[in-house]
Copies of this chain bind each other. A is one copy, B any other.
Amino acid sequence: MTSAMNSAERRSLTRRDEDYRRYWDPLRETMDPDARASLILERVQHQLHYVYETIPFYRRHYEAHGFHPDSVKSLDDFTRKVPVITKKMLVADQAEHPPFGSYLGVAPAELARIHGSSGTSGIPTMYGISRRDWERSAEVCRIALWSAGVRPDDIVQISFPFGLFLGGWGLLQACEVLGACAFPVGSLMPTDQQLTQLARMRVDALVATPSYAQHLGRRAAELGIDLSGSHLGVIIVAGEPGGSIPEIRKAMSEGLGGAAVVDLGAGASSEMHPFYANVGCRHAEGGVHLVQDENYTEVVGRDDPNVPIPVGESGAVVATHLWRESQPMIRFWLGDEGHLDDSPCACGRTFPRLPRGVYGRLDDMLLIRGANVYPSAIDAIIRETPGTGREYRIRVTRSGELDEMRVEVERAADAPPDRDEQLRHDLAERLRAGVMVRTPVDVVAPDTFDVQMFKARRVIDERLS
Interface of A toward B, CB cutoff 8 Å: 1-3, 98-99, 107-109, 111-115, 119, 126, 131, 152-153, 155, 161-164, 169, 176, 179, 181-189, 193, 200-202
B98 touches A200 (CB 8 A): yes
Extra 16 A-B pairs, beta carbons < 8 Å, given A1-B109, A163-B185 = A1-B108, A3-B108, A3-B109, A99-B200, A99-B201, A108-B181, A111-B155, A113-B182, A163-B184, A163-B186, A163-B188, A164-B185, A164-B189, A169-B184, A187-B188, A188-B188
List residues of chain B with CB within 8 A of the CB of A107: 1, 3
> A377 to B275, alpha carbons, bound, how many Å?
49
Closest residue on chain B to residue A108 by CB atoms? B3
List residues of chain B with CB within 8 A of the CB of A185: 163-164
> A458 to B13, alpha carbons, bound, how many Å?
52
List residues of chain B with CB within 8 A of the CB of A169: 184
> A179 to B109, alpha carbons, bound, how many Å?
9
> A155 to B99, alpha carbons, bound, how many Å?
13
B1 touches A181 (CB 8 A): no
A164 touches B186 (CB 8 A): yes
Shortest CB–CB separation between residue A110 and chain B, in angstroms? 8
A114 touches B163 (CB 8 A): no
B186 touches A162 (CB 8 A): yes
Q: Given A99-B200, A189-B164, A201-B126 in contact, is the A183-B113 Cβ separation under 8 Å? A: yes
B181 touches A162 (CB 8 A): no
> A152 to B2, alpha carbons, bound, how many Å?
40
Instruction: Determine which residue in A1, A113, A114, A169 has the highest number of CB atoms from chain B within 10 A of its CB, and name it.
Output: A114
Q: Which 10 A-B pairs have the closest CB atoms?
A: A163-B186, A162-B162, A163-B188, A114-B183, A111-B181, A109-B153, A1-B109, A99-B200, A3-B108, A113-B182
List residues of chain B with CB within 8 A of the CB of A201: 99, 114, 126
Q: Given A109-B153, A114-B155, A155-B111 in contact, is the A184-B162 Cβ separation under 8 Å? A: yes
> A162 to B166, alpha carbons, bound, how many Å?
13
A182 touches B98 (CB 8 A): no
Shortest CB–CB separation between residue A73 and chain B, in angstroms? 38
List residues of chain B with CB within 8 A of the CB of A131: 179
List residues of chain B with CB within 8 A of the CB of A193: 119
> A36 to B152, alpha carbons, bound, how many Å?
37
> A188 to B167, alpha carbons, bound, how many Å?
14
A164 touches B188 (CB 8 A): yes
List residues of chain B with CB within 8 A of the CB of A2: 109
> A179 to B135, alpha carbons, bound, how many Å?
12
Q: Given A114-B183, A200-B98 in contact, is the A108-B162 Cβ separation under 8 Å? A: no
Closest residue on chain B to residue A152 by CB atoms? B109
A181 touches B113 (CB 8 A): yes
List residues of chain B with CB within 8 A of the CB of A1: 107-109
> A179 to B113, alpha carbons, bound, how many Å?
10
List residues of chain B with CB within 8 A of the CB of A186: 161-164, 186
Closest residue on chain B to residue A202 by CB atoms? B108
> A2 to B187, alpha carbons, bound, how many Å?
35
List residues of chain B with CB within 8 A of the CB of A152: 109
Closest residue on chain B to residue A113 by CB atoms? B182
Shortest CB–CB separation between residue A422 and chain B, in angstroms? 42
List residues of chain B with CB within 8 A of the CB of A153: 109
Closest residue on chain B to residue A153 by CB atoms? B109
Q: Could you write out 15 A-B pairs with CB less than 8 Å apart? A: A1-B108, A3-B109, A99-B200, A108-B155, A108-B181, A109-B181, A112-B179, A112-B182, A114-B183, A119-B193, A126-B201, A162-B162, A163-B184, A164-B188, A186-B186
Shortest CB–CB separation between residue A225 and chain B, in angstroms? 16
Closest residue on chain B to residue A183 by CB atoms? B114
